[in-house]
Chains A and B, each alone.
Chain A
Amino acid sequence: MSEQWLEVRNLTKNYGKFRALNGLNMEMKEGELFGFVGPNGAGKTTTIKIIAGLLRADTGQIFLDQVDITKDLVALKENIGYVPDYFGVYDNLKVMEYMEFYASTYGLIGREVRELSLELLEIVGLEEKENQYVDALSRGMQQRLCLARALVHNPKILILDEPASGLDPSSRVAMKNVLMELAMNGKTILISSHILSELSEMCSSIGIIQKGEMILQGSIKEIVSSVNTMNPLIIHILKRQEETVAFLRAHPLVKTLAISGNEFQIIFEGDAKEEAYLLQELVEKQIPVISFGRKKDNLESIYMKITTEGGEKSD
């Protein structure tokens, strides 16, 4: 099995003169819950629609488990479950009929479909709603029903385009819990969202897209730590301020120094090992250190930093 299970290579898409995707590359591993973020108009929905087979890319390839699904439509339709950002409703259709209808569009009919649909409705917490009309369900329930519908053909990968948009907080939590449960059971999920705090709670990896290019991608842990090494180092001491200032000013890796009482904020151009040596030297100079560490960013501040600064490209 390939390490990169879903691989998007050099995807481009133009709408007239507007370039929506500019050689986008993206990689996902099997069983991953991947968060896809970016500002409005960055190309998230275009990417998702191309992967779901709802839009043709101008150039580029998409490999799913080493099969180019841009050329193999059967593989694409069998392996991808798609949940759009808006839940469209047919009038006069009950929940179970809704499930059975979409199952039949994949050629699935019969008693097994009913049993499978019941299982899926149970997963999304709608097992008691099977005989209700779909248009009578709340927005949150409809979105969860849409999620169950997307799973009806047991796709390898589930793609959700801003599934929490327009949902109230409790519906969002319910949706998040369902997705985390699916991910724990081994389902590979690609989710685009603007709610970064939620993504950071549930996703194992993220990709940040801007102007049709993937500007940062990796596991959340890696991204946070790589961005944090560029953040100022904050040292809080108990006393001996003058010695500390003299020592830090003389240190070759300290570029700037800001002092606020017994707190020092420095731009330190060293890695984690050199940080450890700095701390060791402070302790050896008998400076009583209360706290020592980089200023920590969360996913939201990282996203803001990258997208507003134009972003540095990462590998």
Chain B
Amino acid sequence: MINTNPVYQLEMKTSARTVKFCALILIFNGLLALISFLILNDMMEQSQYSGTMEYEGLINMYSIMSYIEFGMFMLVIPSSTSGSISGEKERRTLDILLTGKMSTYSVVIGKLMASLNIVMLLAVSSLPVFSIVFLFGGITIVDLFVMLATLMISGVFVGSIGILFSVVCKKTTTATILSYSSILALIGGTYVMNYLVYHLTGAKERTEGVRRLIYSFLINPAVTYSTMVSNQVANRDLLKQLYLKFAPGMIHGRVIQHWIFFSLVMQVGISFGLIGVAGWILNPLHKKR
């Protein structure tokens, strides 16, 4: 269905022609390949002396590459979506676009999907580098697809934040600053909020309600992604550490057991809400101005 969205098609056509896009694929994959080469090289060198292979290094390589991928999504998507509608305003092409028969929701979804598609293309192009980990086992192809699915949902989430600011702001610069600030607030702000509440309330005042503030991490894509990667590589779990720090009594609750599911559902729900609001605001006939 998305393939028939004219805005999506236009964005894909025009962005794929740019040198910037080709350079982005080259640099991103080059960086991943370099990191994996360095780690593998280090493993090989060590095995020459010890006579054994340290598989932990390989697992670390997967973790590092996954986090790089996540970082790339968090950096590229807001920058791309926050300029999508405000860019139309700056180019003065928005009015013409809105006189067409496309609904404003289709315009917003087309822009968001095009931004996501660009980073998905980056993610898919990096699969050959990722597949090095299959040589030694420990990570399955299902793990890779779960990682991509989590990335996709978190991408939609931060992308819809970018789109909303792009619709509200007249200038791309303002929209970009606000988008990054909001994502920073989601990632760092939820931690700061829990930290402050924890330290400002005494042990007796820490009621069930206060401890439930831990659920604010459900909308923190970094925590959820980290939990997912930790589950895959059986590493230290960031989420458990957060629970132990801020809500130790709730560590056996149902939410933590299904954290990734709840968080992703919540991110999808909020994304739908943000896209809906963005589409509504974009409709010129809803404007009071």
A interface list, Cβ under 8 A from B: 15, 49, 52-56, 73-74, 77-78, 80-82, 84, 86-93, 97, 101-102, 104-107, 146, 149, 153
B99 touches A82 (CB 8 A): yes
Q: Tell whether, in the assembled complex, residue A55 and residue B91 are in contact, meaning their CB atoms are under 8 Å apart.
A: no
**Interface residue SS majority, chain B:** helix
A residues less than 8 Å from B101 (CB atoms): 74, 77-78, 105-107, 153
- How many angstroms between the C-alpha atoms of A56 and B284 in the bound complex? 7
- Residue among B17, B98, B100 with the most chain A CB within 10 A? B100
Q: A80-B99, A88-B93, A90-B93 are in contact. Are A55 and B14 (CB under 8 A)?
A: no
Starting from the known contacts A56-B287, A102-B100, 8 additional A-B residue pairs (CB-CB under 8 Å) come to: A49-B284, A88-B91, A88-B94, A89-B91, A105-B6, A105-B7, A105-B101, A107-B101
Contact B17 A92 (CB under 8 A): yes
Known contacts A105-B100, A106-B101; A91 and B14 CB within 8 A of each other: yes
How big is chain B's contact interface, by range? Answer: 20 to 34
Contact check, A53 vs B99: say whether CB atoms are below 8 A apart: yes
User: A129 to chain B: closest CB distance in Å?
Assistant: 18
Q: Does B1 contact A (CB under 8 A)?
A: no
Q: How far is the CA of A262 from the CA of B96 in the complex (A)?
A: 60
Structural contact, A92 and B102, CB atoms closer than 8 A? no
A88-B91, A89-B91, A89-B93 known; A54-B99 Cβ under 8 A = yes
Q: Chain B: which residue is nearest A70 at the CB level?
A: B285
- Give the residue of A53, A78, A91, A105 whose beta carbon is less than 8 angstroms from that of B285: A53
Chain B, residues 7-30, CB within 8 Å of chain A (1/0): the string is 101100110011000000000000
Query: Nearest CB to that of A102 among chain B residues?
Result: B100
Q: Are B93 and A77 in contact (CB under 8 A)?
A: no
The CA-CA distance from A105 to B6 in the complex, in Å, is: 6
A286 to chain B, nearest CB (A): 67
Residues B284 and A55 in contact, CB atoms below 8 Å apart: yes
Instruction: Indicate which residue in A52, A56, A87, A92 contacts B14 across the interface (CB closer than 8 Å).
Output: A92
